[in-house]
């Protein structure tokens, strides 16, 4: 039975490539290897896909062609590495390289997500505190303030106005937020809007730095893996372009492939886009192209930018932590002053 939503986690694809590589290296036939992994997988989606792949391979299809029917799930990188491995008789070696590089990519993305966990927790805590104050504490205090025969401070007036608005119109605010998120997600399906959004992300101070360096690491690692697996340079650049999520880099790498078809070198094209490709990347690629060590230089760049991302994510956490705590302190302090000041005025003798 086909699952409602087909999705294969990256961790499952890593295990698939690693286990299949080991089983083929030990001399196990491909079909037996696929059947054995089918018994091991715990993913319903992957089990469904493997059954289709096994049936196709039994009918004489190549593994890459069978996986190609699920291109959305596996991606161009995975399928092309398998295809070159089957064609060159090095499927086991290619799958091993693929599993190693995908694991490094997974670790990189996990580091980025981990760096965002603490800020997310602080934001959630801030939202909970503010909600408790507005919906539970202030409704009991506001009637007391409004019944007082004294001139309320400006901060108290602002707090009462804001709390009253949210208490009366919270449903409209909630609907507005949900509508905004839905409209934004729909707009992201429009190429021009998504491209502009990705360009905006790259221009942001902290997030942009991490996005650029993560993209450089992914680009270099993917291209290096494809070249190491025997894919021709132009085809490798096209596949790399298809595997990139950021549309700014996707478009630029696609243009790089077209430029190379006309006889240009990769580094020559990258030099024309110094706004998004750092000079260190371009220079290392230039050295690799001129000395025949492009593949090794790309893996060096991938590791270099991975370390840069690790450092940038650490700086992001250390930078956002005091900012978020300061914002939370200002909000709580504003509420406290707004509540305490009128009480203090009342208790003072005339």
Taking 70 as the pLDDT cut, the residues of the chain under it are 1-4, 148-150, 346-350
Torsion of CA 151, 153, 154, 159, to 10 degrees: -110
Asked whether the beta carbons of 328 and 129 are under 8 A apart, the reply is: yes
Distance of CA 216 to the CA centre of its chain: 13
Asked whether the beta carbons of 298 and 285 are under 8 A apart, the reply is: yes
Q: Which residue has the tokens 């070696």?
A: 93
Distance (Å) of CA 327 to CA 61, 130, 132, 331: 60, 12, 17, 6
Two tokens, residue 236? 């490798």
pLDDT of residue 332: 80
Backbone angles phi, psi at 42, to 5 degrees: -105, -5
The CATH number corresponding to 102-350 among 3.40.50.300, 3.20.20.70, 1.20.81.30, 2.40.50.140 equals 1.20.81.30
Q: What angle do CA 251, 278, 189 make, to 5 degrees?
A: 30
pLDDT of residue 348: 64
Distance (Å) of CA 194 to CA 75, 76, 168, 181, 205: 20, 21, 36, 14, 19
**CATH 1.20.81.30 in the chain, residues?**
10-101, 102-350
Query: d(Cα 318, Cα 321) in Å, to the nearest integer?
Result: 5
CATH of domain 10-101: 1.20.81.30
Query: d(Cα 285, Cα 90) in Å, to the nearest integer?
Result: 26
Nearest CA among 305, 274, 104, 118 for reference residue 209: 305
């Amino acid at each position: 039975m086909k699952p409602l939503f087909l999705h294969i986690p990256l961790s499952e694809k890593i295990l698939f490539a690693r286990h299949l590589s080991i089983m083929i290296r030990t001399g196990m036939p491909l079909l037996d290897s696929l059947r054995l992994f089918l018994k091991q997988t715990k993913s319903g989606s992957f089990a469904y896909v493997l059954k289709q792949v096994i049936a196709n391979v039994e009918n004489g299809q190549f593994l890459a062609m069978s996986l190609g029917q699920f291109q959305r799930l596996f991606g161009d990188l995975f399928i092309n590495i398998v295809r070159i491995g089957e064609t060159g008789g090095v499927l086991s070696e290619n799958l091993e390289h693929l599993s190693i590089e995908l694991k490094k990519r997974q670790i990189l993305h996990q580091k980025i997500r981990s760096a965002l966990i603490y800020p997310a927790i602080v934001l959630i805590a801030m939202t909970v505190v503010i909600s408790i104050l507005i919906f539970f504490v202030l409704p009991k205090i506001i009637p007391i303030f409004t019944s007082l025969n004294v001139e309320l401070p400006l901060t108290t007036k602002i707090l009462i106005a804001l709390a009253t608005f949210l208490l009366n119109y919270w449903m409209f605010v909630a609907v507005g937020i949900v509508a905004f998120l839905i409209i934004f997600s729909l707009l992201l399906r429009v190429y021009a809007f998504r491209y502009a959004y990705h360009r905006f992300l790259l221009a942001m101070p902290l997030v942009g730095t991490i996005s650029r360096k993560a993209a450089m690491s992914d680009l270099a690692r993917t291209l290096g893996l494809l070249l190491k697996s025997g894919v021709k340079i132009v085809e490798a650049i096209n596949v790399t372009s298809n595997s990139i999520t950021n549309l700014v880099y996707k478009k630029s790498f696609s243009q790089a492939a077209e430029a190379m078809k006309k006889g240009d070198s990769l580094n020559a094209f990258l030099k024309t886009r110094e706004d998004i490709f750092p000079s260190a990347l371009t220079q290392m690629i230039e050295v690799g192209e001129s000395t025949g060590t492009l593949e090794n230089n790309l893996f060096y760049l991938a590791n270099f930018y991975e370390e840069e991302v690790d450092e940038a994510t650490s700086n992001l956490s250390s930078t956002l932590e005091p900012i978020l705590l300061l914002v939370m302190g200002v909000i709580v302090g504003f509420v406290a002053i707004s509540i305490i000041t009128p009480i203090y005025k009342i208790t003072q003798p005339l």
